[in-house]
Amino acid sequence: MTVHFVKPFPVSMASCTGLAHCKVALAFAVIFDLVGVMVLLAGVFVPLEVKGRDFGDLLVYTGVILVLISLGGWVMWYSGNIEAAKCAFTAATRVPEADRQKFYASCLGHHLPVPR
């Protein structure tokens, strides 16, 4: 049994390349991740005491909160890069009505191996 890959329907999507949208959300997520992990690790490994009070737990909780806040940045960045799917939909609307079913089938099966 041989496995063949289904070739996509020939529609040009040259204007839909790249995932560089939402650079502000990406920068926000990366910065909050880095700062959050640094603060978390400092809270775990650095013995921080001021006047006999331990502040390690404060740093651990603060680091975790910063990493969770960065998750919002990652969601915004990912959501902003879904434009490629919009381009594929726009390309699909340019396909004649009779060939749309073939176009959608080729899009769905583009990366799926099909045994023949």
Domain of 91 in residue numbering reads as: 82-116
Q: pLDDT over 90 for what percent of the chain?
A: 31
CB 108 within 8 A of CB 9: no
Report the number of distinct structural domains present in the chain. Answer: 2
CA angle in degrees (0–180, nearest 5) for 84-3-106: 30
Angle between helices 23-45 and 56-80 (to 10 degrees): 160
Q: Which is more confident, 33 or 1?
A: 33
- Are 77 and 93 in the same domain? no
Is 65's pLDDT higher than 70? yes
- Are 25 and 51 in the same domain? yes
- Are 31 and 74 in the same domain? yes
Of these ranges, 22-26, 51-55, 62-66, 107-111, the one predicted with the greatest mean pLDDT is 62-66
Q: At 52, is the pLDDT very low, low, confident or very high (cuts 50, 70, 90)?
A: confident
* pLDDT (average), residues 12-22: 55
Tokens of 37: 């992990």
Q: At 30, is the pLDDT very low, low, confident or very high (cuts 50, 70, 90)?
A: very high
Q: pLDDT over 70 for what percent of the chain?
A: 53
Instruction: Please tell me the predicted confidence (pLDDT) of residue 82.
Output: 72
Is residue 13, in this structure, part of any structural domain at all? Answer: no
What is residue 12's three-state secondary structure?
Answer: coil
- Are 50 and 75 in the same domain? yes
CB 19 within 8 A of CB 81: yes
Dihedral through CA 102, CA 106, CA 112, CA 113, nearest 10? 70
- Are 75 and 96 in the same domain? no
Determine the Cα–Cα distance for residues 9 and 22; give it in Å rounded to an integer.
Answer: 29
* pLDDT (average), residues 13-32: 73
